[in-house]
């Protein structure tokens, strides 16, 4: 009770301080994805307020630049993008239009969070007939916490650049992030131990970092090329090629065609799992860690049913 009263007093003090002291204003962090907003909240704690330009159930591959985005970026102290060409269709235009030079590439408030990510699926050559392929490899690194560690480091670097007074605080949070990521992955790798080498057909290669870390093999994809909807012929080919010996479940993102995914799952005789593609897209998935756990649990439930 005493403690409760004390924290209430402290809270009131903090709130009143932040109201009267402009030096206490939080840093405005604008990100392209909800996942990077969650990362920035973890590393920046009470020093930041975050805003994601895309909503949790929007496929950030295919957005359009809007005046609202330009206003948001104009007021940002720090801008964080996913990188690896994920937002190439819209973010260059937003950055061109803003007068806020600090958040443009090369500015101190600009963070490409993908720098240093150990990328998978980096194509050796790029052809026009490869679909919407990413030259830097699979950009969906936030779905697996250990893979995302360089992103957390890039965000800490960015925060320290614009707010060096709190560098110890950001570095402490970063250290905690790294430790928690590793613990979490180890815990789930142990749970997936009996399922090593299990096959999955995915719709889009969205969850591949986490699947790979958990020992699940992506044997094929419903979209024949990234960004290309499946033809009837491609679906028929999947059904003739795979059975439930080879494939244990089908995994899709909620923004893709559920009917075609269900047809593939039914044809093979396995469960269709709808994954949570971003932080905030499923109940309880409100951080990078709970996003991973929600997806891992969904897959485990399908495998152990
Ligand atoms: Zn993608």
Domain holding 80: CATH number?
3.40.50.1980
* Residue 25 CA to ligand 1 centre (angstroms): 36
Confidence band, pLDDT 50/70/90 cuts, at residue 123: confident
Same domain, yes or no: 37 and 178: yes
Is the Cβ–Cβ distance between 144 and 25 less than 8 Å? no
Q: What is the dihedral of CA 117, 213, 57, 238, to 10 degrees?
A: 120
Same domain, yes or no: 149 and 294: no
Count of structural domains within the chain: 2
Same domain, yes or no: 28 and 168: yes
* Residue 132 CA to ligand 1 centre (angstroms): 8
225 located within any domain: yes
Domain carrying residue 147: 18-115+125-183
Same domain, yes or no: 175 and 79: yes
Same domain, yes or no: 178 and 74: yes
Please count the other Cβ atoms lying within 10 Å of the Cβ belonging to residue 63: 18
* Residue 38 CA to ligand 1 centre (angstroms): 19
Closest to 255 (Cα-Cα) out of 54, 52, 58, 34: 58
Task: Compute the average pLDDT of residues 175-202.
Answer: 98
12 located within any domain: no
pTM exceeds 0.85 for this model: yes
Same domain, yes or no: 24 and 169: yes
* Residue 206 CA to ligand 1 centre (angstroms): 6
Of 183, 205, 233, the residue at which a domain comes to its end is 183
Question: In whole angstroms, what is the distance from residue 285 CA to residue 277 CA?
Answer: 10
Res 132 pLDDT > 50: yes
**Which two structure tokens, joined as six digits, stand for 35?**
């996942």
Same domain, yes or no: 33 and 150: yes
* Residue 242 CA to ligand 1 centre (angstroms): 24
Name every residue whose Cβ is closer than 8 Å to that of residue 30 and which is 6 or more positions away in sequence: 50, 51, 52, 53, 72, 73, 75, 76, 78, 79, 80, 103
Res 2 pLDDT > 60: no
* Residue 60 CA to ligand 1 centre (angstroms): 9
Q: Quick one: pLDDT at residue 19? A: 45
62 located within any domain: yes
Q: Which residue has the higher pLDDT, 12 or 80?
A: 80
* Residue 203 CA to ligand 1 centre (angstroms): 10
* Residue 164 CA to ligand 1 centre (angstroms): 34
Task: Compute the average pLDDT of residues 116-138.
Answer: 82
Write the CA distances from 225 to 131, 234, 246, integer angstroms.
5, 11, 21
Res 20 pLDDT > 70: no
């Amino acid at each position: 009770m005493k403690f409760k009263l004390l924290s209430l007093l402290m809270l009131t003090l903090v709130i009143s301080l932040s109201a009267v002291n402009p030096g206490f204003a939080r840093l405005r962090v604008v990100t392209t994805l909800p996942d990077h907003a969650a990362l920035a909240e973890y590393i920046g704690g009470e020093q930041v307020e975050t805003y994601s330009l895309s909503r949790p159930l929007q496929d950030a591959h295919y957005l359009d630049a809007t005046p609202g985005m330009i206003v948001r970026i104009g007021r940002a102290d720090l801008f964080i993008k996913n990188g690896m060409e994920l937002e190439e269709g819209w973010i260059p235009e937003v950055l061109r239009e803003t007068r806020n030079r600090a958040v443009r590439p090369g500015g101190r408030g600009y963070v490409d969070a993908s720098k240093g990510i150990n990328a998978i699926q980096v194509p050796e050559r790029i052809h026009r007939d490869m679909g919407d392929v990413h030259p830097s490899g699979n950009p969906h690194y936030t779905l697996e916490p250990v893979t995302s560690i360089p992103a957390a480091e890039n965000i800490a670097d960015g925060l320290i650049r614009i707010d060096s007074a709190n560098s110890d605080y950001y570095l402490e949070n970063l250290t905690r992030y790294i430790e928690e990521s590793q613990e979490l992955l180890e815990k789930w790798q142990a749970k997936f131990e009996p399922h090593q080498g299990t096959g999955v057909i995915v719709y889009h290669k969205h969850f591949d970092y986490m699947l790979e870390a958990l020992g699940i093999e992506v044997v094929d994809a419903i979209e024949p090329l990234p960004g290309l909807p499946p033809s009837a012929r491609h679906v028929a080919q999947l059904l003739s090629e795979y059975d439930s010996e080879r494939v244990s479940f089908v995994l899709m993102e909620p923004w893709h065609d559920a009917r075609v995914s269900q047809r593939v799952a039914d044809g093979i005789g396995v469960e269709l799992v709808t994954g949570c593609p971003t932080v905030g897209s499923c109940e309880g998935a409100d951080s990078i860690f709970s996003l991973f756990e929600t997806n891992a649990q969904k897959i485990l439930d399908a495998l152990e049913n």
